[in-house]
């Protein structure tokens, strides 16, 4: 980040009280000089995230998430670091607009530009005289002009008009093929979409990456035509409407997932702006990761048919396995949310959303389908299925469910609990819990030295005078990055250095160092111990290396020279050990 920008960013950080900013997102409780809260970056059940007003830093002692105020806002709101700086500036009353020259260039900026041009072209088509039949179709479906504009809905014509339009703007057929706007056949390029209403699909940042095309003339098939996957469009990585919905999701602390694009559009336009749509029938791990980053519970509201019920079961289990709380709404009377709102109104939908069932309740209702529970065998099968579904559930859910079963079907709670506990299980071999690879004394010492250096120029100067070098290239590069920052800015504070680190190729390595260090008080004695550890280990390794070399040498004089080097190094090692024993 340019120096002028670093100074401006440092001023914003100094004005921002990290406790107040983070406190707007999660409740914080003071314990001593620090504040603690439930960490939003993992499934936290007790306050494990510490916020230090003195250091202007946060750190979770469970998952290791750490950083300054900009890092927290960036990760919590799922926005870029630069956007987080602008947002924090606004919170503290500083007017700032960071120049585009300070922002990293989008990897696919050219491709996004082409898709934006196509979107505008399609929108203009819809507003022409030739677009009136398609416009009437949308109005008849209950879409207003505002909804059409909000969702950038457009129209494709025939005769390769998009290809010709973009070619005049010096965009090649190969570039159009690359983003999925044309197909190639017999060396000719043709528009993918012809005489279809087009719904743009955006990525999380709001870039148009694909289209869904729908016919508006009854005798045409297929009904829907979707963009093929390209370098900017991977269907499994996207949730329709997430870029618009994410602010409402954060405010509502709930994410509503529906099946179709029209359902999401209708929900959003009716005021339920925390709604997204699936891009298929089953969530992918990438989509679940997107959902998990929102740190909210999820409400599934799929079509009111057998396929919708199956999708609810499948996706609910995927989400629960990812540690996400799931609720369910099953609409009655209409097929989907779009039809439901058109017939019953948004007030009725609001009432429905206020009374969801838990996912476990949905499972039990679903298990009852096609069963006569007055029949002993059917009831026995149903109860066994319910007990099976409780595998892995928490103790409270198990207890509530068993009491409910016992009361509803006149069964004995103790028998149900016994059946659950004694159910036949596959043979399990007890293994000790896996542990992360233990770090060596060298690694621990190096990481502490780097952490101290990130916090104070005093320790940078001691490092330069007493050590000045790491044998490990990774640590050496981080040290050089710290030295460069301190020299450029004539000072160093960890909270500011992390802003610089966001644009460094060593960003992940720097944060890994911070994650590895527990909350420590900086002191000279400990720092010198770490320096001694590094020196001792490096010299001991050098001794081994010289001894191996000495064995291969035939010349007597050369052997003596190598021997003297070993003696000199052993003296240094003994001096360090003596210093340590005196201190102890």
- Per-residue pLDDT of 388-419, as tens digits, reads 777 766 677 788 888 888 888 888 888 888 88
**pLDDT higher than threshold 70 for residue 426:** no
> Percent of the chain, pLDDT > 90?
48
SS3 content of the chain, % helix, strand, coil (to 5): 55, 10, 35
Q: Supply the pLDDT for residue 101.
A: 45
Average pLDDT of 365-377?
79
**pLDDT higher than threshold 60 for residue 299:** yes
**pLDDT higher than threshold 90 for residue 500:** no
**pLDDT higher than threshold 70 for residue 385:** yes
pTM for the full model?
Answer: 0.66
Q: What band does 434 get if pLDDT is binned at 50, 70 and 90?
A: very low
Q: What is the CA radius of gyration of the chain?
A: 31
Q: What band does 176 get if pLDDT is binned at 50, 70 and 90?
A: very high
Range with the poorest average pLDDT among 8-22, 201-215, 383-397: 383-397
CB 279 within 8 A of CB 236: yes
Q: What band does 550 get if pLDDT is binned at 50, 70 and 90?
A: confident
Give the helix/strand (H/E) hosting 481.
helix 473-489
Q: What band does 5 get if pLDDT is binned at 50, 70 and 90?
A: low
Average pLDDT of 158-172?
94
Average pLDDT of 107-133?
94
Q: What band does 583 get if pLDDT is binned at 50, 70 and 90?
A: low
The Cα–Cα gap between 466 and 532 comes to 9
Q: Supply the pLDDT for residue 1.
A: 40
The CA-atom distances, in angstroms, between 119 and each of 96, 215, 266 are: 30, 17, 21
Mean pLDDT of the chain: 87
Q: Supply the pLDDT for residue 402.
A: 84
Range with the poorest average pLDDT among 24-28, 97-101, 231-235: 97-101
CB 550 within 8 A of CB 562: yes
Dump pLDDT digits (tens) for 41-75.
876 677 889 999 999 999 998 888 899 999 999 88
Q: Supply the pLDDT for residue 301.
A: 97
Q: Supply the pLDDT for residue 373.
A: 80
Residues 6 or more apart from 503 whose CB is under 8 A from it? 1, 104
Dump pLDDT digits (tens) for 480-496.
999 998 988 888 989 88
More confident residue, 293 or 440: 440
The CA-atom distances, in angstroms, between 370 and each of 333, 381, 421 are: 20, 12, 28
184 phi/psi in degrees, rounded to 5: -115, 130
> Percent of the chain, pLDDT > 70?
93
Helix residue ranges per DSSP H, 78-156:
81-91, 109-126, 132-140, 145-150
Residue listed under structure tokens 């980040």: 1
The Cα–Cα gap between 241 and 339 comes to 19
The Cα–Cα gap between 584 and 580 comes to 6
Q: What band does 98 get if pLDDT is binned at 50, 70 and 90?
A: low
The CA-atom distances, in angstroms, between 225 and each of 194, 197, 211, 215, 311 are: 10, 10, 8, 9, 22
Q: Supply the pLDDT for residue 337.
A: 95
* Top-confidence range, 1-10, 101-110, 421-430, 477-486: 477-486
């Amino acid at each position: 980040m340019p120096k002028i920008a670093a100074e401006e960013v440092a001023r914003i950080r100094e004005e921002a009280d990290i406790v107040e900013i983070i406190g707007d997102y999660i409740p914080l409780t003071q314990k001593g000089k620090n504040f603690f809260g439930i960490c939003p970056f993992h499934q936290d059940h007790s306050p494990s995230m510490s916020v230090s007003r003195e250091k202007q830093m946060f750190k979770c002692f469970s998952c290791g998430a750490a950083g300054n105020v900009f890092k927290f806002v960036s990760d919590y709101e799922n926005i870029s670091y630069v956007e987080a700086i602008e947002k924090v500036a606004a919170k503290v009353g500083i007017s700032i607009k960071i120049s585009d020259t300070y922002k990293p260039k989008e990897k696919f900026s050219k491709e996004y530009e082409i898709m934006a041009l196509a979107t505008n072209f399609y929108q203009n088509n819809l507003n022409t005289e030739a677009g009136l039949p398609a416009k009437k179709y949308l109005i008849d479906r209950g879409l207003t002009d505002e909804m059409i504009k909000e969702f950038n809905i457009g129209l494709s014509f025939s005769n390769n008009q998009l290809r010709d339009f973009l070619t005049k703007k010096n965009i090649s057929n190969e570039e159009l093929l690359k983003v999925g706007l044309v197909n190639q056949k017999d060396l000719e390029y043709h528009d993918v979409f012809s005489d279809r209403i087009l719904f743009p699909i955006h990525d999380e940042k709001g870039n148009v990456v694909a289209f869904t095309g729908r016919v508006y003339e009854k005798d045409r098939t297929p009904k829907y035509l979707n963009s093929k996957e390209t370098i900017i469009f991977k269907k499994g990585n996207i949730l329709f409407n997430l870029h618009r919905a994410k602010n409402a999701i954060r405010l509502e602390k709930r994410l509503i997932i529906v099946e179709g694009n029209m359902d999401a559009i209708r929900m959003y336009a009716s005021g339920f702006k925390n709604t997204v749509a699936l891009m298929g029938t089953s969530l992918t791990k990438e989509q679940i990761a997107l959902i998990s980053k929102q740190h909210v519970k999820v409400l599934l509201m799929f079509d009111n048919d057998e396929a919708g019920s199956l999708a609810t079961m499948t996706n609910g289990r995927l989400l629960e396995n990812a540690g996400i709380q799931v609720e369910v709404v099953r609409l009655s009377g209409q097929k989907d949310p779009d039809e439901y709102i058109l017939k019953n109104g948004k007030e009725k939908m609001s009432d429905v959303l206020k009374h969801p069932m838990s996912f476990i309740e949905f499972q039990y209702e679903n298990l009852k389908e096609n069963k006569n529970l007055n029949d002993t065998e059917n009831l026995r099968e149903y109860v066994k299925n319910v007990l099976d579904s409780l595998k892995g559930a928490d103790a409270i859910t198990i207890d509530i469910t068993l009491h409910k079963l016992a009361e509803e079907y006149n069964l004995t709670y103790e028998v149900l609990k016994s059946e659950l506990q004694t159910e036949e299980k596959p043979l399990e071999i007890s293994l000790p819990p896996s542990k992360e690879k233990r770090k060596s004394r060298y690694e621990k010492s190096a990481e502490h030295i780097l952490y101290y250096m990130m916090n104070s120029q005093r320790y940078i100067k001691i490092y330069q005078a007493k050590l000045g070098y790491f044998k490990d290239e990774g640590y050496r590069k981080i040290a050089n990055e710290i030295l460069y920052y301190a020299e450029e800015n004539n000072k160093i504070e960890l909270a500011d250095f992390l802003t610089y680190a966001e644009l460094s190729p060593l960003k992940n390595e720097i944060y890994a160092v911070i994650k590895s260090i527990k909350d420590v008080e900086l002191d000279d004695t400990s720092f010198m111990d770490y320096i001694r550890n590094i020196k001792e280990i490096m010299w001991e390794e050098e001794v081994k290396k010289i001894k191996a070399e000495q064995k291969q040498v035939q010349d007597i004089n050369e052997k003596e020279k190598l021997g003297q080097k070993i003696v000199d190094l052993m003296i240094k090692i003994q001096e360090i050990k003596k210093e340590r024993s005196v201190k102890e």
